[in-house]
A and B are shown apart, each in its own frame.
Chain A
Amino acid sequence: MNFNFTEEQTQFKDVIKSLLADECTPSSIRDGWSAKKSFNQSRWNKISELGVLSSNLSEEDGGLGMDQVALALMVEEMGYAGLPEPVAEQTFLVNDLMPLFPEGLKDEIKSIHESGNQYIALAHPLSPNPLFLSHAAALLLFDESTYQFILKDDLNFKPLASNDPSRELSAIDSIKKSISSSENFETLNSAVTARGSLMTAALLIGLAQKMLDLSSAYVLDRNQFGKPIGSFQAIKHMLADIAVEIEFAKPTVYRAAHSLLDKNPKSNLHCSHAKYMSARAAELACKNSIQAHGAMGYTWEMDLHIYMRKAWSLMACWGNEDKQQDIIYKTLTTSKDELGVLYTF
């Protein structure tokens, strides 16, 4: 039993953190908004040059064989920076499913990867509007019983506006040609659902932490009644409440990631648990952060909403709190004897 990170796992986190601190500033995100082009190719290329986009592919597929725990730690940083590009989606959803795809499909994906780390978008009933499809080489489309691989040129789609301008969504109009399969569907569908929950959970942890940091800085700076508003207990307690929620959501994300790595039979429950706790933490972070900012928090000018909008979107997709609660409830009532004090691990 050692519920602690390895040096290697935290190393990746630190590398991506420092890159994003330089490359993914609030003003660069706003530039993307005004140009209506949130996918920043140069930032994507820099992330790609670091090897992040293929980091969790196996070594024979040209990756570093990074595990899901290290990946979750990196994704947390992508949330913290509010990264618009779908790096988390590419790694956590597409790459991590590679070993489960049938051979033919694997080859198609590989040939796209080999042509220079291009993006493959993914759509699923829990997150039906693919992200940045115009920048993708292909789309993986899950429905209720099959999945399809579609090259972008074989797709007709139109843009959908997201409440988070950093998320360019699309609706599929028609498909000209696709490779469709139902081979291994149950396993794949359950794997992608779990990964979607966990990926959004890790992003939400980062976003919640960012909102807390922005709020702590703001209440130190803003003076009323002759002193920083951060010296008033009403403000302190709102922010402390966020810190508590984040603290107890974090280990659920790391445990769920480890369960995927370990092929734990309860990994789906663990991923739902992670999303449930992280969504609640992020929800409180939004509510209390905007309140701590006062009217300024309600403006377009303040950076807070860059992160708040992303959090709202991520809370909603890949299974919101209500859906996760339902999954947990069903597991609790059907296998209660395998849960509880002796079954944490």
Chain B
Amino acid sequence: MHLLKKEMQILKMKINFTKDQDIFRQEVRSWLADNVPKESLLSLDTKEGFEQHRQWEKTLNSGNWSMVTWPKEYGGRGLDLIQWLIFEEEYYRAEAPTRVNQNGVFLLGPTLMEFGTHEQKSKFLNAMATGDHIWSQGWSEPGAGSDMAAIRTTAVLEGDNYRINGQKTWSSRAAYADWTFGLFRTDLDSERHRGLSFILVPLDLPGVTVRPIPQLDGEPGFAEIYFDDVIVPVENLLGGDGEGWKIAMATAGFERGLMLRSPARFQQTAAKLLNLYIENEEHCSPMMQSKIVEAWAQSESYALSIYHTASKMLAGGSIGSESSLGKIFWSELDHMMHQTALKILGASAELSNSSEHDAAQWIKGFMFSYGGPIYAGTNEIQKNIIAERLLGLPK
């Protein structure tokens, strides 16, 4: 009876941080204060900036901060999702550099954890944590964008190897990354989502050609990857041959869900927007007030929702198509906030020299925010998923 009561106590809804969680927060804060570079790094989409960001990944790893939720044996700390959210809050508050390896740590990492063999986990997770392997994503093809099941790049099993031929595109970070992960058609007679496999491919192999694509900001944030008789060992297959679609859906769930876009990022933008507004209040009409409120209210709601989801997951729940709701919400919010910032800036909203004008960062973020509703599955595709899987509407 006593035990039961104690258990009930633990399970009680309590939305305050525990003492241990506060101590953890302080530990994160003081490490970041000592280690976050004082001068901001060059853009991670330039060769030099990419290497600076790789160096930052190594620094993070030296403090065991690469991915706090992973088990210790793979370079993590074995912490829970709430602690990860705390880490993220401190990370954004400290204005620490963008994670150049986010495709790895936030997407492939959790996928490996769920579907990888022990050998794969220890090889890839550790190298990911140290920043030795920086990952790019290889999903889309020229004829397979929103319709990802139309993938045609082939990987034919020959003995202990796959022979890969075809082309991937919009591959984020591929311009300078070391590896790519993605879906390949291993059963040549298959159609649609059957016969696809999830394979990990080093980008320095013979037959791989990477052609960077300059983005709106002029820098190559994504690239095309051509595969011409590229030979990859069968150990690089994640999960079973032909199980790629299922695994990719799980990865996409991580991407849309709480992993890639933790709420701290948007709360920090909302806070900066509020400061920008207060500095420029006398030039603004009352219309801006409602946008400021919307920014705070929505970023706060997103945070509450993610803590709610994380709590449910800690209690044994899982996240499915619900992640599509979040993806729409944060991407639209991010765009709205940047649009508002440019309105507050008035005519200076076109001054793009970052060493002279604060506007430059907002302009860069503004352009990037147009990508949110497109990448990780367009918001239109997410709405189809919501309608079909959550509301039960027909295909």
Tell me the A residues contacting B by CB distance below 8 Å.
1-7, 9, 69, 212, 216, 219-220, 227-228, 230-231, 233, 235-237, 239-241, 243-244, 247-252, 254-255, 258, 262, 273, 276-277, 325, 328-329, 332-333, 336, 339-342, 344-345
Contact = CB atoms under 8 A, between A and B. Distances in A.
A95 B177 CA distance: 62
Contact of A329 (B292, B308, B387): B292
Per CB-CB distance, the 8 closest pairs between chain A and chain B, nearest first, are A236-B387, A240-B383, A251-B304, A340-B271, A240-B386, A230-B393, A4-B311, A341-B267
A244 B301 CA distance: 12
Given A2-B10, A341-B303, 8 more contacts: A1-B21, A4-B11, A230-B393, A277-B301, A340-B268, A340-B270, A345-B17, A345-B307
A140 B326 CA distance: 42
B12 A219 contact: no
Nearest to A272: B297
B237 interface: no
Interface of B: 8, 10-18, 21, 82, 89, 92-93, 263-264, 267-268, 270-271, 274-275, 278, 289-290, 292-293, 296-298, 300-305, 307-308, 310-312, 314-315, 322, 325-326, 328-329, 380, 382-384, 386-388, 390-395
Given A2-B311, A3-B15, A247 B322 contact: yes
Contacts of B393: 216, 219-220, 228, 230-231, 235-236, 239
Contact of B13 (A3, A212, A237): A3
Most chain B C-beta atoms within 10 Å of own C-beta, residue among A235, A236, A341:
A341
Contacts of B328: 240, 244
15 contacts: A3-B311, A6-B13, A216-B391, A220-B394, A237-B384, A239-B391, A244-B325, A251-B307, A254-B304, A273-B297, A333-B278, A336-B274, A339-B271, A341-B89, A342-B89
Contacts of A3: 13, 15, 304, 307-308, 310-311
A219 B301 CA distance: 29
Nearest to B383: A240
A1 B18 contact: yes
B157 to A, nearest CB: 38
Q: Is the interface of A mostly helix, strand, loop or mixed?
A: helix
A273 B391 CA distance: 27
A135 to B, nearest CB: 34
A239 B264 contact: no
Contact of B15 (A1, A219, A236, A247): A1
Most chain A C-beta atoms within 10 Å of own C-beta, residue among B21, B268, B325, B387:
B387
Given A243-B391, A273-B300, A276-B297, A255 B15 contact: yes
Nearest to A344: B303
Contacts of B388: 236
A131 B82 CA distance: 43
A174 to B, nearest CB: 40
A241 B13 contact: no
A228 B384 CA distance: 15
Contacts of A7: 11
B278 A241 contact: no
B305 A251 contact: yes
Contacts of A325: 289-290, 293
Contact of A247 (B8, B296, B305): B305
Nearest to A254: B308
A303 B199 CA distance: 52
Nearest to B18: A1
Contacts of A254: 304, 308
Contacts of A5: 13
A239 B325 CA distance: 12
Given A244-B325, A340-B267, A4 B304 contact: no
A294 B288 CA distance: 35
A255 B311 contact: no
A9 B13 CA distance: 9
A251 B304 CA distance: 6
Given A1-B21, A255-B304, A340-B271, A237 B394 contact: no
A228 B394 contact: yes
Nearest to A241: B383
A292 to B, nearest CB: 10
